Structure 1
Amino acid sequence: MNHLIVYAHPSSESFNHAVLDTTVSTLKEKGHQVTVRDLYTLGFQPVLKPEDTAALRAGQTPSDIKIEQEHIAQADAITFIYPIWWTGMPAILKGYIDRVFSYGFAYAYGETGIDKLLSGKKGLIINTHGTPKEIYDQIGMTEGLKVTSDIGILEFTGIEPVDHLLFGSVPSVGEEALKANLKQVQDKVASLF
């Protein structure tokens, strides 16, 4: 299976990076081909500019967008790994979605509604956040994050959301809890793919 990981965290010392390493090693142990697109390391330009829109409409996809679309097209499964900042994804990842999941590539409007152009792919999202999980659950934020990402992005484009892991209190839970979280990532990735 060709597995694409889209990763968005600026620090190689972060817990998100440990999640990335765990995900990559688990997939490789199972014999999958793994490609990681580390948006910060790539210096991905996240701002959708008028010239991008004009080029896409003219069928002249800008080269940086085309490269990412080729990775997505070749993937059987896509895992997004990123922190939740201010109740959403980092700006670099939002810009990636804005620019790469473009009309005519990820979706289109047909005679019967929305054509989901990325159908047949599986999607997993793994998030961390500083707020305790219980608070996010209580105020509806956990469910809100799942709706906007799993349904609003993945399902909208035809990617089947297979799971969405959210780990709260990451900066303060302690080493044992973080190890348990990584074990959960390892077990989930191994069971899904």
Structure 2
Amino acid sequence: MRHLIIYSHPNDESLNHHFLNTVTEILQTQNHEIRIRDLYHLDFNPVLSLQDLKDQRSGQLSEDIREEQEHILWSDHITFIYPIWWTGMPAIMKGFIDRVFSYGFAYRYDQGIQKGLLKGKRATIINTHGKSKAEYESIGMDRALSLTSDKGVYTYCGLEINRHLFFDRADKATEEMIKEWNRNIEEAYLN
């Protein structure tokens, strides 16, 4: 199977980077093909410009967008790894979605009905956040995060969600917590 990992964290010493390595090792032991798109190391431009919008309408794309779309087309399974900052994805990841998951590539409207164009591809999402699961549940943020990302982006574009893993209190993670999270990640790729 062809796995694309889209990763977003600026610190190579972060827990998110640990999860990037964990996913890569799991997929390698299962003999999958893997491509990694580290948005910070790529210095990906997250700003959707007026020119990008004009290019989308005319069917012409800038080289950086075309390259990322080719990686997505190549893949069978996409893993997104990023922290939750200010109750959302980092700006560089949001900008990646804005620019790369464009109209006519990731979705379109047929006679006014939205259609996801990435059907047949699976997605696994791995997120870290500082608040506890109980805090997020008490204010409804757990449901809001799933709604805005899973429904509002991933399934909207036709992706089938394999798993969406939220790892809480990431800024206070213990060795035992990380071992458990690694097991959760491994289980996500067993099916």
Q: Could you tell which deviates more after superposition, 2-11 or 129-138? A: 129-138
The 3-state SS of whatever aligns with 1:184 is helix
Q: Which residue number in structure 2 is paired with residue 111 of structure 1? A: 111
Matched, 1:26 2:26: yes
TM-score by length of 1: 0.96
- 1:38-81 CA-to-partner distances (Å, cap 9, x unmatched) read 00000000000001111121111110000000000111010100
Shift of 1:112: 6.1
Cα distance in structure 1, aligned partners of 2:106 and 2:188: 26
Unaligned segments of structure 2, at least 5 residues = none
Q: In structure 2, the residue corresponding to 1:42 is in which secondary structure?
A: coil
1:38 maps to: 38
Give runs of aligned pairs for residues 64-143 of structure 1, distance below 5 A. 64-111=64-111, 113-143=113-143
Equivalents in 1 of 2:115, 2:188: separation in Å? 30
Aligned structure 1 segments of 4 or more residues deviating by more than 6 angstroms: none
> Offset of 1:151 from its aligned partner?
1.0
Q: In the alignment, what sits opposite 2:166? A: 166
Task: Indicate conservation of the 8 Å contact 1:126/1:164, yes or no.
Answer: yes
Kindly indicate whether the alpha-carbon contact (under 8 Å) linking 1:117 and 1:157 is maintained by their aligned counterparts in 2.
yes
Contact 1:56 1:62 in 2 (8 A): no
State yes or no: 1:48 paired with 2:82: no
TM-score when normalising by structure 2: 0.97
Greater shift, 76-85 or 56-65, is seen at 56-65
Please list the CA deviations of residues 158-185 of structure 1 after superposition, one character each: whole Å capped at 9, or x if unmatched: 1001110000001113222122212221
Contact 2:162/2:188, CA 8 A, preserved across alignment: no
Letter in 2 for 1:36: I
**Separation of aligned partners in 2, 1:148 and 1:94:** 12
Say how many residue pairs are matched: 191
Give yes or no for contact 1:47–1:95 (8 Å, CA) kept in 2. Answer: yes
1:187 and 1:158 map into 2 onto residues whose CA distance is 23
